[in-house]
Structure 1
Amino acid sequence: MLDPLIRLWVDVSGAVFEGAVQPALYAAGLMMWADDVQEWLDFALLGIVQIVLVYAVCRPLEAVRPVEPVSNRAAVLTDVFYTLLARLGLLPLIAFVLLSSAERMLNGWLADAGFVPPTLETLIPALREMPLLALLLYVLILDFGEYWRHRFQHMFGWWYALHSVHHAQRQMTFWTDDRNHLLDDAIAAVWFGAVALLIGVPPAQFVLIVMLRQLAESLSHANVRLSFGRVGERLLVSPRFHRIHHGELSAGEDGRNYAVLLPVWDWIFGTADFDRKSYPRTGDPNAPESLATGGWLRQQIDGFRELGRALRRR
């Protein structure tokens, strides 16, 4: 199912590397870094595809039906910078690659001991013949893990001190999805990558899941007056559903609507707010002003300061 796309990706990536990057490395006398640069190029190209796809879907919607006018373009530009860092670095994919190496070492040690860790496809062998069903199950399990990671971000004071960088934004747009503290992003990447490895997500499907998930998350943060209706809002997180989570009254431990992709988790665990029809003001009134209006570096520094204060309170 994914083989033609994988071949196309390999061809495009190879052409860019051989046609532009490799000659530049040769001219600069840096060919010893060729393998590392080629790996980074794959991440960067995938990030560019994600940014273009997200912009093509979300920007027209924000232009047609905005919740509010953009009054602070500097805050939006800061979020654009966050997106460029996150999508061109692709922390979840990097974490997956690093954890794959660790997993291979662990599996080698376990194999020598006569034990093979189970994966989703070894537990349900029929999934090997049904790749689409396997993909849907991977999405379901990963999204369940993301619901609890997001909920833990609000439950634990030290973690919310980092996560408040994300919630402090009062000028929310689709760029806001990637507005996170670096340490918070690193924890999230390891969490997501570890769950993916635990259930045995194939690398090609992992890349597809990351792309679809990030498109859905960007849309849910968009400054757009959009609901999926009474039934649709119970099947997929909409901009209206997630904006309630970002509302001023939902900051910190009072959060609602934690789901990343599927609202069913909020319904099952009693954290859903399907009834509120408004589009609330966003932001965290208790966060330092710098987390709302400061630049990227100031927000990273003050995020660490908030973490220190939270740990001292404990």
Structure 2
Amino acid sequence: MLLEFEQPIVDLEDKLAEMKRLAENSKVDVSDDVKSLETKIQKLKEETYKNLTRWQKVQLSRHPERPYTLDYIYNMTDDFIELHGDRTVKDDKAMVGGFGTLGDQTVMFVGQQKGRNTKQRQMRNFGMANPEGYRKALRLFKMAEKFNKPIVTLIDTPGAYPGFEAEERGQGEAIARNIRDMFMLKVPVICVIIGEGASGGAIGIGVGDKVLMLENTWYSVISPESCSSILWRSWDYKEQAAEALKLTAEDMTGFGLVDGIIEEPLGGAHRNIKWMSNTLKARILEELEPLLAQSAEERINTRIEKFSDMGEVIE
């Protein structure tokens, strides 16, 4: 899939491919021209991706080829065992989780999962979990706590499912319970926004000792489209809404709402999934080491203080 702002890069890459093809057929030496054009393409890529607008970063976070939760898990661990069900209603396919080994450490992974095609998207409900998904996540958190294993959550959702049946089964209560209970978990918790981090759907698995964001992701109380529809009664102002929401990783770090940014390959995480997975794995292990050295009481107190200090009170 080609994003609109990537078109000039693709045009030059097509021109480069044509130049190489003509050179091969005519046996003419154009190596200097090829090298010059390759340099120009690289510079254009660097300039384009280092100066993305907030709306362009939102688009990049939704790229259909971008790695999802299970892609990262299967690239970071060889022995992942997925666990299912909330033991009350059913197994929510939009929320996945289970144990896997990260380095020498067994970790409980939990995250939202989107689909690659129409059938998968329907099965995964586009990464929008129902109440049973959040109750499933909490069950896995408690299991990790029971066996004294750290927790890693991978957040990628346009929001919790807003359907009538979800509200009927207690969507708000399920998310609120998760938020409350995650504060009191005795094991280390690291949360990483790997794509979209929208509203309660994200915060329902987003309370941790460390909250990190991949470079081209967003984290906000509302999506730009929904914000636009509320303020302007139209989705046509989504770009202005994205700017006003200040939802990028740089914005969130500046506000003190997240603890760090994880670099992505030039062009986005989907350009080199293996490299991105190894980078994410190394960062998680780096953040885990000092957390494991702390006592449970110290982690809980620090976690509570961290979130309590967010924002400003003006009287």
TM-score, length of structure 2 as denominator length:
0.25
TM-score, length of structure 1 as denominator length:
0.25
**Of Structure 1 and Structure 2, which has the larger fraction of its residues in helix?**
1
**Of Structure 1 and Structure 2, which has the larger fraction of its residues in strand?**
2
